[in-house]
Amino acid sequence: MNEFFCHETAIIDGPCKIGKGVKIWHFSHIMANSEIGEECNIGQNVVVSPNVILGRNVKVQNNVSIYTGVICEDDVFLGPSMVFTNVINPRSFINRKEEFKKTLVRQGASIGANATIICGIEIGKFAMIGAGAVVTKEVKDYALVVGNPGRQVGWVSENGHKLVFDENNVAKCPETDVLYHVINGNLVK
């Protein structure tokens, strides 16, 4: 008996690992050798390619393709129709499967609807990528990145609130009252 839910229109290729409490919705395809952690939600029309790793409680919204080389740690949010790539210079007539680049999305990061993540980078813990952003380089922990090309325009708390700093370079999350400081160009709690 499965310890996860799979809609009847979804396809799961074996072997793969699917954790307890996972929900896989309409027309999604989980490919061989992928790993999906406990309590993940895989929305409608999602493709999880071979060897992809999703941590615990990853939320994948509708129409997302997660290509080989992508690793998402726990509590990552992937917004509707966002895009990962895995080859820098794709050509239809050249097989570059041996050149797939790894992309790492750290714990708690959120990627907005229709954002594009160019392969070979790391998105930091609790970072927030705005809708439609095109991310071409590393993203720091807690960074707020928007635009094309993506650029950092601020910082967010772990709960996703944009932080406003006082004259001492200290900000407080309005939801949790946790204090954040920028030290040497990085945000710390």
Q: Would 189 be classed as within a structural domain?
A: no
92 Cβ neighbours under 8 A, 6+ residues apart: none
Residue of 153, 154, 125, 130 lying closest to 140 (CA atoms): 125
Q: Would 180 be classed as within a structural domain?
A: no
Helix (H, G, I), strand (E, B) or coil at 5: strand
Q: Would 162 be classed as within a structural domain?
A: no
**What pTM was estimated for this model as a whole?**
0.97
Q: Would 100 be classed as within a structural domain?
A: yes
pLDDT tens-place values along the chain, 189 residues long: 679 999 999 999 989 999 999 999 999 999 999 999 999 999 999 999 999 999 999 999 999 999 999 999 999 999 999 999 999 999 999 999 888 999 999 999 999 999 999 999 999 999 999 999 999 999 999 999 999 999 999 999 999 999 999 999 999 999 999 999 999 999 999
Provide the residue range defining the domain that includes 83.
Answer: 5-156
Q: Residue 41 is part of a domain; what is its CATH number? A: 2.160.10.10
CA angle 119, 120, 123 (to 5 degrees): 90
Tokens of 83: 């895009």
Q: Would 172 be classed as within a structural domain?
A: no
Q: Would 184 be classed as within a structural domain?
A: no
Q: Would 178 be classed as within a structural domain?
A: no
Is residue 81 within 8 A of residue 97, CB to CB? The reply is no
Number of domains in the chain: 1
Tokens of 114: 């229709």
Q: Would 125 be classed as within a structural domain?
A: yes
